[in-house]
A and B are shown apart, each in its own frame.
Chain A
């Protein structure tokens, strides 16, 4: 393959190949729409991702000539994606499993933390007014707005014991 690519510095592919790949991409797009209309449970997301990855691979391999270039470029390309995947997967190992073992960890950031009661930093009207009231009315942790109040009460309970 290396010699092949060295011989053809500017690799010209037959038009038919481009058209075939284009047709494959269109077919896959139709397939995406079809699959999206069916209820397959968790398989919906998996299938959608598989189709998306296949389409991206076709573009990278043929339209971007990765298949005909030095293999090192393919390694670099796939490698960078792999590291992105690594970053997301390992971060999600944290964010998706919080509270699995210890419920207090589900919402480690409670809004009663002093730093979030400092109203000066919120500039958008809604937040400012609520937090201003909270800050001005009392220092108590109980006065917090919306749904986080529930979480924080939950997470406070074990502390109390």
Chain B
């Protein structure tokens, strides 16, 4: 094999054929397969959201009846959470990048990795089947006792989610072993890129918490099929126990969603500030800190559920601790920006959007963690706005930052930067129109998950719905410029942004086994104070200016 990186065929070019893709054990191809699958479900979940918002344009019926509405918001939630956002960054981007970032040929268990994708698809098919066979209408949380009594297809949906959990555990297990065992020579723990730390913390939660979700869903299925009575007070059970079980997984799951996003932000901010990341160890430890604290706070979802006051006080107190590691990260990112040579490419724009939106999401989370305030705001649009600011304003923006950042590496193609920037603005505007409005709606008392509402809420609901259309339009344009990029003739260099992590040292797209020679750790992932690299992207578009800037 030639040592000239440009001569080697990329992972996209060899081996050829559909079979070589379906039976591949290459983490990059599996990452791409995950990416296709999750983008499909993001489209489905997003379409459901736009339809829901259209229905909510006016209080009276526009598109569907109330029962269908219940099914639609449940499907929107379940699809977005279990089929899109949980696997989005770890399974799609993480799979592609983790071995490249630590300088490995593949993940530790490549076959298990492929199995995780098939398990994901299998679980997804169950979820799709449940849509055909009487879509579930419980909300994505499947709360008992309603979920044990409704006539909709709770079992096939929960079975689907149960299966998806295994896919998540496989990925987590694979990542933990890969990070422990396959780092390139010289890359010690504190020389790993922060994205890898984020994925490590995520993987720990995936392995520790997901089994509890599986137990919960099995109990729910048993309750429905056999009437075991664990959640049924008539038989000595306790429906609040379901919420304990459910949130013991699902609260940490929120951090499965956000932690790898935070990893992306650490990479992007450092690269586009051309500055060594501030407080590396603090960011790394705070990832583990968030992972740990995430297991202690689940009861804050249950303040008004009938949980005891003492438990509520304990959970409220513990919830405030989440603010500490999150705050550490945000301050370190902002300090990295300070006096950096900031260049506003699309990934950086999304990273800055993340900072802004995640802060709003985080602070409103602290508000909801306060006991007295939560009684007023519980189950209102305020909560809906809060978690959309964290999940969409946080994780999805980080995901978008990541996908724009690594797109040239993944496909060797560059999207239209001009269109990407335009879309970033559209998405930012659409997002805030949709969801900031919902903070106001919620504070005014508009309950969530309602099919209709009082006339006084109509102007705000209408504004929010228009925002959703803007947001939807933004994503459609994004899909177009990403697909159009495959026909782009423009060459992308190995290192378009001038970054220092290992994945940029191999060709774009990388060869089948990632590196043509065994990589050795030469410099830290953020040594911008020692090394100045001008990215190929800047060389093509007036690189001298950037070189001077650096």
Contacts and interface: CB of A to CB of B under 8 A. Distances in A.
Contact of B233 (A83, A96, A99, A116): A116
Contact of B238 (A93, A95, A105): A95
Interface string B483-511: 00000000000000000000000000000
Given A105-B306, A105-B308, A108-B306, A94 B244 contact: yes
Contacts of A16: none
Given A87-B212, A99-B308, A122-B227, A94 B240 contact: yes
B296 A94 contact: no
A95 B305 CA distance: 12
Given A95-B238, A97-B311, A123-B227, A90 B299 contact: yes
Given A80-B208, A87-B212, A127-B234, A94 B146 contact: no
B310 A93 contact: yes
B280 to A, nearest CB: 23
Interface residues of B, number: 31
Contacts of B24: none
Contact of B145 (A90, A108, A116): A116
A109 B236 CA distance: 11
Contacts of A99: 308
Nearest to A72: B180
Contacts of B146: 115
A94 B307 contact: yes
Contacts of B296: 86, 90
Contacts of A102: 309
**Which of A87, A91, A105 has the most C-beta atoms of chain B within 10 angstroms of its own C-beta?**
A91
A97 B233 CA distance: 17
Contact of A121 (B149, B212, B233, B241): B149
Nearest to A109: B233
B148 A109 contact: no
A93 B307 CA distance: 9
Interface of B: 145-146, 148-149, 180, 208, 212, 227, 233-235, 238-241, 244, 248, 295-296, 298-299, 302, 305-311, 314-315
21 contacts: A80-B208, A83-B208, A86-B295, A87-B212, A91-B248, A93-B314, A94-B240, A94-B299, A94-B310, A97-B308, A97-B309, A98-B306, A100-B308, A100-B309, A111-B233, A115-B146, A121-B148, A122-B234, A127-B234, A131-B234, A148-B233
